[in-house]
């Protein structure tokens, strides 16, 4: 019998809702179908504003959580229509929610999303709040995908590095026999997105074309790399709490560089910090997923940083790079339902394995 789960993901880039339907009935799970749905522009704008403190933010965050959950329910409905599968055939939805604060050093992380409302609207059980239990156990609550990467992409005879380049970049080192490790390496697309939105009104730098039109500024790159967070040891995680527009402006400090050169330098920062994190593993191949997997300029910079490593995407491993994160949250939902610990203490720093998530029955 099929063992269907749905994963929902809205990441740091806030470019839309990714929805994936996965069948776990076989030893090798199968991605059945996936759907990307853009966020309503007003909801996206409100979620971005809520990344920082503001007036009446508790009320506004609750309303935004409701709106996001309605959009997620619509995405689930559209995906099921596309496949012909009925709601009652789905065991659970794994809903990441939208991160508004990530402060593990203060003992909390906050992803909004009204999971009860999503269960009510879809008639399907929902698993949410995946990160809090790991934080309660002394961990970072992130990244959570390395356990999934190990389960789906690990190979006993080959060391692989997987890098998700969303708003923030995180990597997983899958050694050929040995302990899985992983951490956030720093900005993925978040600075490049902020900069091109400011100067060209585009949501992102398509294929890295604007960055390719500029030149990397070595002195600016070094200024960016001087950020103390980069020198912190793993386990570590980050987000818009640190890498936001105010940080960007402070680093630029009223410089008068050409905007395309700044964009090229932000792209180089992403490539350098990923490469610095991956270099010690000496992987034969580095597999990209997330939006950055479509950035040819970033890929070229990574190839230059890691000349002994082949740069590819998870498509080579059988999963479209656009859907890996949503797939992961379907997997995490299944782990919760089946009472399987899904964090890796070596990755997050938690005091031990934990079952992640809270269940909202249908």
Q: Residues 146-167: pLDDT tens digits?
A: 999 999 999 888 899 999 999 9
Confidence of residue 326 (pLDDT cuts 50, 70, 90): very high
Q: What is the mean pLDDT of residues 33-58?
A: 94
Same domain, 166 and 291: yes
- Span 24-32, average pLDDT: 93
Q: Do residues 25 and 32 make contact, with C-beta atoms less than 8 angstroms apart?
A: no
Number of domains in the chain: 2
**Whether residue 330 is found in the same domain as residue 282:** no
What's the confidence (pLDDT) of residue 12?
Answer: 80
Give tens-digit pLDDT for 281-291: 989 899 999 99
> 78-122: per-residue pLDDT in tens?
999 999 999 999 999 999 999 999 999 999 999 999 999 999 999
C-alpha span between 115 and 358 (Å, rounded): 9
What pLDDT does 13 receive? Answer: 80
- Whether residue 333 sits in one domain with residue 222: no
What average pLDDT does the segment 7-34 reach?
93
User: In terms of domains, do 134 and 151 share one?
Assistant: no
User: Of 332 and 158, which is predicted with more confidence?
Assistant: 332
Q: Which one, of 318, 361, 332, lies nearest residue 30 by Cα?
A: 318
Mark whether 204 and 248 lie in a shared domain: yes
Examine the domain organization and report whether 173 and 311 are in the same domain: yes
Whether residue 30 is found in the same domain as residue 137: yes
Can you give the CATH number for the domain in which 124 is found? Answer: 3.30.420.40
Name the average pLDDT for the chain: 96
136-146 pLDDT, tens per residue? 999 999 999 99
Last residue of one domain, picked from the residues 317, 332, 348: 317
Task: Tell me: do 114 and 72 sit in the same domain.
Answer: yes
Are both 45 and 91 inside the same structural domain?
yes
| CA 104 – CA 119 distance, rounded (Å) | 28
- Asked if 131 contacts 111 with a C-beta cutoff of 8 angstroms, the reply is yes
Q: How high is the pLDDT of residue 27?
A: 87
Residues 198 and 250 in one domain: yes
Find the domain containing 300 and state its range.
145-317
pLDDT band at 333 (very low <50, low <70, confident <90, very high): very high
The tens digit of pLDDT for each residue in 203-213 reads 999 999 999 99
pLDDT in tens, 167-204: 999 999 999 888 899 999 999 999 999 999 999 999 99
Q: Is 168 exposed, middle or buried (0-12, 13-18, 19+ CB in 10 A)?
A: buried
Are 71 and 119 part of one and the same domain?
yes
Domain boundary at 283, 302, 317, which?
Answer: 317
The reply to whether 169 and 292 lie within a common domain is: yes
Q: For residue 308, what pLDDT is reported?
A: 94
């Amino acid at each position: 019998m099929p063992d269907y789960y749905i994963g929902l993901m809205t990441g740091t880039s806030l470019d839309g809702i990714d929805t994936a339907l996965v069948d776990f009935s076989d030893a090798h799970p199968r991605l059945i179908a996936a759907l990307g749905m853009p966020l309503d522009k007003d909801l996206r704008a409100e979620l971005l504003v809520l990344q920082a403190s503001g007036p009446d933010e508790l009320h506004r965050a609750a309303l935004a959580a409701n709106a996001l959950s309605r959009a997620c329910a619509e995405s689930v409905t559209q995906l099921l229509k596309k496949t012909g599968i009925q709601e009652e055939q789905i065991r659970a939805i794994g809903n990441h929610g939208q991160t508004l604060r990530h402060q593990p050093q203060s003992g909390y992380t906050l992803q909004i999303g009204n999971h009860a409302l999503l269960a009510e609207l879809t008639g399907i059980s929902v698993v949410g709040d995946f990160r809090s239990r790991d934080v309660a156990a002394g961990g970072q609550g992130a990244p959570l995908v390395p356990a999934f990467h190990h389960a789906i992409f690990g190979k006993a005879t080959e060391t692989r590095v997987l890098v998700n380049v969303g708003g923030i970049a995180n990597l997983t080192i899958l050694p050929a026999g040995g302990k899985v490790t992983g951490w956030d390496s720093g900005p993925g697309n978040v600075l490049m997105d902020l900069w091109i939105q400011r100067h060209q009104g585009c949501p992102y730098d398509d294929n890295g074309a604007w960055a390719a039109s500029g030149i990397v500024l070595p002195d600016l790159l070094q200024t960016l790399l001087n950020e103390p967070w980069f020198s912190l040891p793993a386990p570590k995680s980050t987000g818009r709490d640190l890498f936001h527009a105010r940080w960007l402006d402070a680093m630029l400090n009223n410089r008068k560089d050409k905007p395309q050169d700044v964009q090229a330098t932000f792209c180089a920062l992403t490539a350098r910090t990923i490469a610095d994190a991956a270099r010690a593993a000496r992987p034969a191949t580095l597999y990209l997923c997330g939006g950055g997997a479509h950035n040819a300029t970033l890929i070229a910079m990574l190839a230059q940083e890691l000349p002994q490593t082949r740069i590819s995407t998870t498509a080579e491993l059988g999963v479209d790079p656009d859907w890996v994160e949503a797939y992961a949250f379907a997997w995490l939902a299944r782990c919760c339902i089946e009472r399987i610990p899904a964090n890796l203490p070596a990755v997050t720093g938690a005091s031990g394995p934990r079952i992640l998530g809270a269940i909202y029955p249908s």
